[in-house]
Structure 1
């Protein structure tokens, strides 16, 4: 039986999906530090994490037999993807499953900031009746500037237009504008016209510190600011200054450079106790619907990779799916270094040992290659051993349909 370790409480449906695939599922409620994670990975075949656990190269080296890591969320910057690929460890995430939840949070916060609902709420909780229209505005007719026009940014664009907002966006990649949204030629152009600026960029290292003093000073006076993407992309010290001097009218922040690993731990931020500032504990995708979708999606990908070798939508290995064949008696899942002639050598080895290939698919991604091969005859142990000993072999697994029980691995 394979063993799965799930951290940080992904949806319980993940347990059922993995159990049906033959996994023993073990849970830990919070994130783990590096040393703790290394100790807990003993005997684990599949690891599931959310945003609080860092899966470093040292962690991956400590458990070389790990098959895959599932990130129960969108971002994968908490996993060393290149190190995982070098060890033949597939990484999966849920790039679409919580998009709507993040969009709805952004829309709610845009309205709350524009109407200054946080200020009105705090006054009443403090026992003061302060009925006034001062500083309270409609979002209709305002310009929303979206930085990062991916899955979340595009859907937010459509919903914002339905509210009557004008939408401009900026992305470093070429993106098709939806509806009446208008692409801006530079970030500075967007900041000059947007009444609300919202960040939806990914966690790549190049985005660190992308929004600092210069960008805040290019924003319209009195504009609002949202960051529901990554904590390390914004200089929150500067944001604090701009809130206090009134040049930024309000802010909503869901992500922070340093976040507590477990519920109940203390939280510190320079943004606490500021007027018209909404702080949420990284809950953009934390709705029941999103977590259920994510649990199903990621657990399904982990099970499919472990049992059938399918790497569809992996973020660090070539994305391959080989349809099942009734004639196949074995399936070979082979991760290797992407060097010329590897596939020819593998097939020659199979042929020399009398193994008949029923189906095969190859893909490459950077320095990594991946081959799925169905064998319709007996598979001599000598053929497997010969491929395992090849210089460019990273990991080889032999799966026997229909039970798909792994009989050999190497890294």
Structure 2
């Protein structure tokens, strides 16, 4: 089995995969569609971060790709519908870098409130500007969170511990943490908040979520942060709001277009504006977060390869399985239509295969049937199940007979 890991994924992931007998190839940067299709020749497992797009064309060109691991939080760079149709489960790390993103947000809020980047730049130029003008404590100020998922909640708790009043808006009905208060709309959030931080996912409906009209509704001298997705904020509108003084400072970590690899040139409409912190998509880039992500996602890939477990998959019916002790485990991915279980069991019965246990889970258009058999499974069983009209993929774990096993 072979894995391809892109974009400087932590070495823990490579070590875990190799320890389980997987041959690993690593590349530092991202790949475009054509490059990725070529690189996936003979590859079973793909590991990416945020800059490599795994499109429908990739899944169609490489139908034998077994699983994809996104070594990050977001999965909007993967065509999940195409992955499901290709019977390819995808995994991510929804919690592993939460603390790192939150700490960066806290640091940027304090830095902007005290104009630390401007003070630092002046000192490096030999200018001594010992003034309290425009500098504020964050204690007693209001923080508005757009998006109240894992990151938003933890930021809410830490901000409150520093003495901030927290408001949040989310399209889902989320339980407030501590004394945070939910707003019924973003407009209400804008009215109440002196600092606004965006923490939404990459779904299409969040594209251009914050634009010129939204900045105009924010309170004068608001501080603004986006550490979520680049396409969420109109940076030209933010530039104009900063230059007019309506927005007092900004911290931006993500951009609509980003370089594929370190060292490549970067340009933004926000460069050169005072009290603006620009960071190169490093919200989750701490040693601790990357180690946790590498371990978590690589372990999920191994659990699928060795056990068939799909727990926490973002596009697949979820099933937590124990290692098989003996016999054969059949992993049958199929269209979610009536009669599949009966058809599979008919094949097994006709060939005298004894079934120890079965689990069937469906999600949307995809069904996942796991069958543990105490007796061997020959190539005729495999070929007949593969020939069923609903079958997308059939995998096997354990001792079985036949080349197709």
Residue matched to 2:175: 176
Residue matched to 1:150: 149
1:210 partnered with 2:209: yes
Residue matched to 1:133: 132
Map 1:259-274 → 2, pairs under 5 A: 259-274=258-273
**What is the CA–CA distance in structure 1 between the aligned matches of 2:376 and 2:48, rounded to whole Å?**
38
Residue matched to 1:367: 365
Secondary structure at 2:329's aligned position in 1? strand
CA contact (8 A) 2:324 2:398 kept: no
- Residues 264-285 of structure 1 show CA distances to partners (whole Å, capped at 9, x for unaligned) of 1110110111110000000000
Residue matched to 2:315: 316
Deviation at 1:380, TM superposition (A): 3.1
Secondary structure at 1:264's aligned position in 2? coil
**What is the CA–CA distance in structure 1 between the aligned matches of 2:298 and 2:172, rounded to whole Å?**
30
Deviation at 1:87, TM superposition (A): 0.4
Deviation at 1:187, TM superposition (A): 0.7
Residue matched to 1:345: 343
- Residues 60-87 of structure 1 show CA distances to partners (whole Å, capped at 9, x for unaligned) of 1111100011000000011111101100
**What is the CA–CA distance in structure 2 between the aligned matches of 1:284 and 1:405, rounded to whole Å?**
49
Secondary structure at 1:242's aligned position in 2? helix
Secondary structure at 1:284's aligned position in 2? coil
1:282 partnered with 2:271: no
Structure 1, 78-87 or 374-383: larger mean CA deviation: 374-383
Secondary structure at 2:359's aligned position in 1? strand
The CA RMSD measured in Å over matched residues stands at 1.4
**What is the CA–CA distance in structure 2 between the aligned matches of 1:38 and 1:407, rounded to whole Å?**
27
CA contact (8 A) 1:8 1:50 kept: yes
Secondary structure at 2:213's aligned position in 1? helix
**What is the CA–CA distance in structure 2 between the aligned matches of 1:28 and 1:369, rounded to whole Å?**
34
Map 1:7-406 → 2, pairs under 5 A: 7-326=6-325, 328-400=326-398
CA contact (8 A) 1:254 1:284 kept: yes
Query: Gaps spanning 5+ residues in structure 2: where?
Result: none
CA contact (8 A) 1:396 1:408 kept: no
**What is the CA–CA distance in structure 1 between the aligned matches of 2:378 and 2:252, rounded to whole Å?**
58
**What is the CA–CA distance in structure 2 between the aligned matches of 1:119 and 1:405, rounded to whole Å?**
70
**What is the CA–CA distance in structure 2 between the aligned matches of 1:201 and 1:348, rounded to whole Å?**
47
**What is the CA–CA distance in structure 2 between the aligned matches of 1:144 and 1:407, rounded to whole Å?**
61
Deviation at 1:408, TM superposition (A): 3.7
**What is the CA–CA distance in structure 2 between the aligned matches of 1:406 and 1:279, rounded to whole Å?**
57
**What is the CA–CA distance in structure 2 between the aligned matches of 1:154 and 1:344, rounded to whole Å?**
45
Secondary structure at 1:48's aligned position in 2? strand
Residue matched to 2:3: 4
**What is the CA–CA distance in structure 2 between the aligned matches of 1:189 and 1:86, rounded to whole Å?**
41
TM-score computed with the length of structure 1 as normaliser: 0.96
CA contact (8 A) 1:397 1:406 kept: no
CA contact (8 A) 1:322 1:360 kept: no
**What is the CA–CA distance in structure 2 between the aligned matches of 1:150 and 1:343, rounded to whole Å?**
37
Deviation at 1:378, TM superposition (A): 2.3
Deviation at 1:341, TM superposition (A): 1.4
CA contact (8 A) 2:5 2:47 kept: yes
CA contact (8 A) 2:379 2:404 kept: no
Secondary structure at 1:270's aligned position in 2? coil
Query: Gaps spanning 5+ residues in structure 1: where?
Result: none
Deviation at 1:122, TM superposition (A): 1.4
Q: Aligned in 2, Cα 1:34/1:405: closer, same or farther, shift over 3 Å? A: farther
**What is the CA–CA distance in structure 2 between the aligned matches of 1:357 and 1:126, rounded to whole Å?**
76
TM-score computed with the length of structure 2 as normaliser: 0.98
Structure 1, 255-264 or 377-386: larger mean CA deviation: 377-386
CA contact (8 A) 1:398 1:408 kept: no
